[in-house]
Amino acid sequence: VGFVDDDCNKWGTYLLGKKVLGNTREINQLIQTFRINMVTIAIPSLPKKKIQQLVQSIENKNIKVNMVPSFEEVATGKINVSQLKEVDVIDLLGREEVSLDLESISHQLEGQTILVTGAGGSIGSEICRQVLAFEPAKLILLGHGENSIYSIHRELTTLDPQRKVEILPIIADIQDRERIFYLMEKYHPTIVYHAAAHKHVPLMEYNPTEAIKNNINGTKNVAEAAKKNHVKNFVMISSDKANRPPNVMGATKRIAEMLITSLNQSGETKFSAVRFGNVLGSRGSVIPLFKEQILRGGPIIVTDFRMTRYFMTIPEASRLVIQSGALAKGGEIFVLDMDKPIKIVDLAKNMIHLSGYTEEDIEIVETGIRPGEKLYEELLLEKEKKETQIFEKIFVGDIKGFSLKEVTQLIEQLPEDESEAAKKVIAFANASNE
């Protein structure tokens, strides 16, 4: 309805179209005049004695009184983050989300057996949620972390109270070739969405061997097991970081793309990959990190004020993956038209403002680029771009790569020394663009 403030200079002024109606001594009169139901104290730093006096002064005891929590209360866990105004990642995106025609793929999913690797992750779990709505016969949740698989299994079971879909939680490591082949033979999925991967760029710079084992060898295991067991569609989640990669993570994703497209050359399985940019709100993304930094009172850490990234939401990315699987003829690398990239520093400013603060309240600090990071990401090289959309905002990149024999040879001949192996993987991934 309006505001009250004891600063007489503010009386009669307006904030966001609402008037400052008077001072705190007039609260009871204002409650009666405007039939108020709730009073919110928006000064978290107000002394407890003052708060007590204010609450006790309200004569109508049916009035609900609440407070905006302080940073300290949230940071120490006394009050849940959900009680704060949540930042809407759609607002931060700065563009309309891509709405894909999910009805066109319902016949592909209904009554089928669907396997999702990395099912406990941000993208994998959202793929599971959206697939569940189409009532497959079985939905296999494959992941390495028991807590994340337990969590998504419990959530999906709640979403399907009538048990129309058999939901199977499977703990497995994609690096375990024997286990993956056993599971693929046991369940014979119709479609595999391969979302399992190590994705954190700086972290993989410190652990290149793990990136190689998981992103290359693990993908090879899942893809070859799918091929042997006549899976109809295999869709791999890739990244814009696979394009001209200066880092290990991007290089392993590019090599995984080559594995997928080269496996498509024979057999009945349709292999494809989906390449997109950063996902807003996912674990490891800047959104939860910035939220945490805002809750602590700042500063927000940005590595370089010039840095830009392509962004999309988790549901949008997941719909793209599912839609692309339905469009696949085999061998494609699908790319989403993500419009213009967004500056990370602008994203930080938006989050500060949407959280109810100013840049004077929350400082933004530049710290320098981390190992393996690029200032700007590209989804495709200029020579790889095709003008024709195959669906609204979905393109197929004209991306060349090495053969399965050449990729396999690289994997078998990688040196044991981590730094040397990393150099060789990055050089191989970039050589495919020449």
CA atoms within 13 A on the CB side of 62: 5
228: left (phi > 0), else alpha (psi -120 to 50), else beta? Answer: alpha
Q: Is 36 exposed, middle or buried (0-12, 13-18, 19+ CB in 10 A)?
A: middle
Q: How many residues does the chain have?
A: 434
The active-site residue, picked from 199, 220, 227, 241, is 241
Task: Give the torsion sign (CA, 258, 264, 269, 273).
Answer: positive
Here the tokens at position 175 are: 């690096």
Q: Is 416 exposed, middle or buried (0-12, 13-18, 19+ CB in 10 A)?
A: exposed
Here the tokens at position 388 are: 């024709």
> Within a 10 A sphere around the Cβ of 29, how many other Cβ atoms?
11
Residue 225 makes CB contacts below 8 A (sequence gap 6+) with 177, 180, 181, 183, 184, 185
Q: Could you give the CA distance from residue 319 to residue 391 in angstroms, rounded to a whole number?
A: 13
* Phi (first) and psi of residue 272, to 5 degrees: -150, 165
228 annotated active-site: no
Cis upstream peptide for 299 (omega within 30°): yes
Nearest to 178 by CA among 119, 238, 222, 215: 222
Q: Could you give the CA distance from residue 125 to residue 184 in angstroms, rounded to a whole number?
A: 20
Here the tokens at position 100 are: 């894909």
* Phi (first) and psi of residue 380, to 5 degrees: -145, 155
Any idea which residues carry the catalytic annotation?
241
